[in-house]
């Protein structure tokens, strides 16, 4: 998948790459002219009565070579390396888009730090491979070919072959080392992911760590991970750092052979002094690309290791997607569950069993039950966060799987148990960064959720910037702000999933009353542990071990003296004790 994205990107930007490579080839060719011009200049200077104009002409050629190299290099680097930066951005967008489409069970199996490593380190390594490393490889190959050709044709083929004998040995050795580098770099990326995850967990859980005095223990755990990463990096550096000294050693042998054999040829008059200088210039030019082979192989192997990791993510199947004839019509809010059964992926035990229920448009449904009874699972299926079999859930008499995901989810206002707020202003959190609401609508939403006064107590009011995950708000303020975000949307179906648990009963009653007034003709689903949050609902269901244990109004359920009555009595007794 990752390879296909890269191939498609290169195909869409082929003209930039073609022009860039042409200028790259021009740069390489122009560079190889310098040793010959220098050698020719030396041959002119060794004569007593040399032609000054010829020297000036060669000086002009040298300046022209430098200028031509500068212009061509500037152009190809902007085109090739610039395209590599665009590829990095494109890959990161594709990865982020893929993250958005993956089902919740994917995130339950993956560490956040590891996913961050994919989006930063791995994509950067791929960019280095398809940018600087590729450019260095092409430039080096062209320079070597032209230099060797010039050495053979213009100077001496025997001297060329003798001087280049060590190079094939070096290349074979470097290719072997490159495979080891790839394996060790993959280990480096994995340890980086572990450290990222550990740092993130410690920042999020800093209050718990401090309250249990676990700073030293967490530091020891981090040091162990840090040492593991250091070892992985050192293991990689040990093998990659072996390349440069080996190349320098082999080229030292080449220069020694050249000095001995080439010097004798100059003394015998077989070649001129200028040819000998040019030959050494070409040999030096070859040395730089060959020395960079080590770096190129290291970068290339890192990139391939990262591309393999990215493929692992990008090839993850997107299980929840639109059908071919998806419905895009607005949802009104009539919901029917028809003998619904559901088990989470990888689980044998069913979380929901034989759920049959009708919620007419404009009604409010209350859901209560013990922890793990299936309350949240029921609404998660309505939002299609998990795949559900056909003909088990209907919305407006249409099978839920026929709706487009965008249409379906746009029709819901959802406030989850785990309230999430962005590191942005209160206003931006309420409107979800959509500038389609008036100030009056924002203020009314805040007032209906009983959070307006709390907001105005802040110095900057609605423009107050929240800390990460709303750290500078209390639990109750977070919940009310999240409810305001759902209310301002005015959705066809509103779901409050235990989102009043941190609010006192008086405020809770006020919010519920406001919601009932605002949503007379719209469907609402309120999940709660407290009976007080659902007692005014048109219908209440009691979930018990995945089944609907009881169903009815508040008074009807109390009269039955069953599960609902037991929960009510338990809460009523607790409330009496707390008052007394």
d(CA 351, CA 410): 26
Q: What is the mean pLDDT of residues 463-471?
A: 80
User: What's the average model confidence in pLDDT over 341-350?
Assistant: 86
* Per-residue pLDDT reduced to its tens digit, 20-54: 989 988 988 888 888 888 888 887 887 777 778 88
Mean pLDDT, residues 410-414: 90
Q: Which of 8-17, 161-170, 296-305, 317-326 has the highest mean pLDDT?
A: 8-17
Which DSSP category does 546 fall into?
A: T
pLDDT tens-digit map of 70-84: 999 899 989 988 888
Portion of the chain with pLDDT greater than 90, in percent: 19
Q: Is the pLDDT confidence value at 1 over 70?
A: no
What mean pLDDT comes out for the span 535-543? 92
pLDDT at 71: 93
Which residues fall within 8 angstroms of residue 466, CB to CB, at 6 or more apart?
421, 422, 423, 424, 425, 426, 429, 472, 473
Instruction: Say if residue 307's pLDDT is above 90.
Output: no
Query: Nearest to residue 313, comparing CAs of 131, 127, 121, 96?
Result: 96
Reduced to 3 states (helix: H, G, I; strand: E, B; else coil), residue 42 is helix
pLDDT for 286: 78
| Sheet strands side by side (includes 412-415) | 412-415, 493-497, 523-527, 364-369, 539-544, 547-552
Residue 153 pLDDT > 80: no
pLDDT band at 294 (very low <50, low <70, confident <90, very high): low
Task: Give residue-wise pLDDT tens across range 157-169.
Answer: 777 777 777 777 7
Q: CA 388: distance to chain centroid?
A: 28
**DSSP reduced 3-state for 212:** coil
- The region of weakest confidence among 7-11, 238-242, 354-358 is 238-242
pLDDT band (50, 70, 90) for residue 498? confident
Per-residue model confidence (pLDDT) at position 448: 92
Confidence of residue 580 (pLDDT cuts 50, 70, 90): low
Instruction: Give the percent of the chain with pLDDT over 70.
Output: 96
pLDDT for position 484 = 92
Name which residue leads in pLDDT, 161 or 488. Answer: 488
Confidence category of residue 399, pLDDT binned at 50, 70, 90: very high
Q: Tell me which of 264 and 451 has the higher pLDDT.
A: 451
Whether the per-residue pLDDT at 59 is higher than 90: the answer is no
Dist. CA 208–CA 169, nearest whole Å: 58
Look up residue 403 and give its DSSP letter. Answer: B
575 band by pLDDT with thresholds 50, 70 and 90: low
Give the integer Cα–Cα distance in Å for 497 and 501: 10
Q: State both tokens at 389.
A: 């079999």
353 pLDDT band, cuts 50/70/90, is very high
Q: What phi, psi does 393 have (nearest 5°)?
A: -130, 130
Q: Under DSSP, is residue 337 helix (H, G, I), strand (E, B) or coil?
A: strand
pLDDT of residue 495: 92
Query: What span, in angstroms and rounded, lies between the C-alpha atoms of 146 and 152?
Result: 10
The yes-or-no verdict on residue 239 having pLDDT over 80 is no
Q: If you average pLDDT over every residue of the chain, what do you get? A: 84
The alpha-helical segments, DSSP class H, found in 77-165 are: 82-101, 104-109, 112-117, 123-128, 134-150, 157-163
Bridging pattern class, strands 393-395 and 398-399:
antiparallel
Query: Is this model's pTM higher than 0.95 or not?
Result: no
Look at residue 250 and tell me whether its pLDDT is greater than 90: no
Q: Using alpha carbons, select from 475, 496, 485 the residue that is nearest to residue 430.
A: 485
pLDDT for the residue 301: 77
Mean pLDDT score, 293-309: 79
Band of the pLDDT at 354, cuts 50, 70, 90? very high
Give the pair of three-digit tokens for residue 11: 């195909």
In 274-400, DSSP assigns E strands to: 335-342, 352-359, 364-369, 393-395, 398-399
Return the closest-CA partner of residue 364 out of 517, 533, 523: 523
Residues 6+ apart with CB under 8 A from 305: 125, 182, 183, 185, 186, 189
Rounded to whole angstroms, the Cα distance separating 7 from 128 reads 16
Range of weakest confidence among 10-24, 268-282, 405-419 = 268-282
CA atoms of 503 and 428, how far apart (whole Å): 23
Contact 138, 237 (CB under 8 A): no
366: number of Cβ within 10 Å: 26
Pick the residue with more confidence: 211 or 38?
Answer: 38
Cα 378 to the chain's mean position, in Å?
A: 30
**What pLDDT does 367 receive?**
93
Structural domains of the chain sorted by starting position, each given as residue range(s) with its CATH number in brackets: 87-314 (1.20.1560.10)
- Structure tokens that stand for 327 in this block: 């419905």
Residue 576 — very low, low, confident or very high, per pLDDT cuts 50/70/90? Answer: low
Residue 334: per-residue pLDDT: 93
Among 11-25, 86-100, 186-200, 432-446, name the one with the lowest average pLDDT.
186-200
């Amino acid at each position: 998948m990752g390879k296909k994205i890269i191939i498609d990107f290169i195909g869409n930007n082929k003209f930039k790459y073609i022009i860039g490579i042409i200028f790259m080839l021009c740069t390489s060719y122009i560079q190889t002219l310098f040793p010959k011009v220098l050698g020719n200049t030396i041959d002119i200077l060794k004569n007593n009565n040399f032609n000054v104009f010829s020297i000036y002409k060669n000086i002009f050629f040298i300046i022209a070579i430098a200028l031509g190299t500068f212009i061509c290099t500037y152009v190809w680097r902007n085109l090739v390396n610039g395209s590599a930066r665009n590829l990095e951005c494109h890959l990161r967008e594709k990865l982020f888009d893929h993250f958005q489409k993956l089902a919740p069970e994917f995130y339950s199996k993956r560490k956040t730090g590891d996913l961050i490593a994919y989006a930063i380190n791995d994509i950067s390594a791929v960019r280095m491979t398809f940018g600087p490393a590729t450019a260095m490889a092409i430039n080096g190959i062209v320079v070597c070919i032209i230099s060797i050709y010039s050495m053979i044709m213009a100077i001496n083929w025997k001297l060329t072959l003798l001087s280049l004998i060590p190079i094939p040995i070096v290349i074979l050795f470097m290719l072997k080392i490159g495979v080891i580098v790839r394996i060790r770099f993959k280990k480096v990326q994995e340890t980086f992911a572990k450290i990222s995850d550990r740092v993130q967990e410690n920042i999020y859980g800093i209050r718990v760590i401090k309250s249990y005095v676990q700073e030293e223990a967490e530091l020891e755990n981090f040091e162990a991970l840090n040492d593991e990463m250091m070892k992985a990096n050192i293991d990689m550096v040990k093998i990659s750092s072996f390349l440069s000294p080996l190349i320098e050693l082999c080229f030292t042998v080449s220069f020694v052979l050249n000095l001995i054999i080439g010097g004798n040829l100059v003394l015998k008059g077989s070649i001129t002094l200028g040819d000998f200088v040019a030959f050494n210039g070409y040999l030096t030019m070859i040395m730089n690309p060959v020395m960079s082979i080590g770096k190129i192989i290291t970068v290339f192997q890192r990139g391939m290791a990262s591309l393999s990791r990215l493929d692992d993510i990008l090839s993850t199947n997107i299980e929840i997607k639109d059908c071919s004839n998806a419905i895009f019509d607005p949802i009104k809010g009539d919901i029917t569950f028809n003998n619904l059964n559901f088990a989470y992926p990888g689980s044998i035990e069913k979380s929901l069993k034989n759920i049959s229920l009708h919620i007419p448009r404009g009604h409010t449904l209350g859901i209560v039950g013990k922890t793990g009874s299936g309350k949240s699972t029921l609404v998660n299926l309505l939002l299609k966060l998990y795949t559900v079999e056909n003909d088990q859930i209907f919305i407006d008499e249409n099978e839920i799987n026929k709706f487009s995901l965008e249409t379906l989810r746009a029709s819901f206002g959802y406030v989850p148990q785990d309230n999430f707020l962005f590191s942005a202003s209160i206003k931006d959190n309420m409107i979800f960064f959509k500038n389609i609401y008036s100030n009056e609508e924002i203020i009314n939403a805040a007032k209906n959720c009983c959070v307006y006064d709390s907001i105005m107590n802040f110095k900057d009011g609605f423009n107050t910037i929240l800390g990460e995950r709303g750290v500078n708000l209390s639990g109750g303020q977070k919940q009310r702000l999240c409810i305001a975000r759902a209310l301002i949307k005015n959705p066809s179906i509103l779901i409050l999933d235990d989102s009043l648990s941190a609010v006192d009963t008086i405020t809770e009653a006020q919010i519920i009353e406001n919601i009932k007034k605002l949503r007379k003709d719209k469907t609402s689903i309120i999940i709660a542990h407290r009976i007080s949050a659902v007692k005014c609902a048109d219908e209440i269901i009691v979930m018990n071990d995945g089944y609907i244990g009881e169903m009815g109004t508040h008074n009807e359920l109390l009269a039955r003296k069953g599960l609902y009555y037991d929960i009510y009595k338990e809460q009523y007794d607790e409330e009496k004790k707390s008052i007394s």
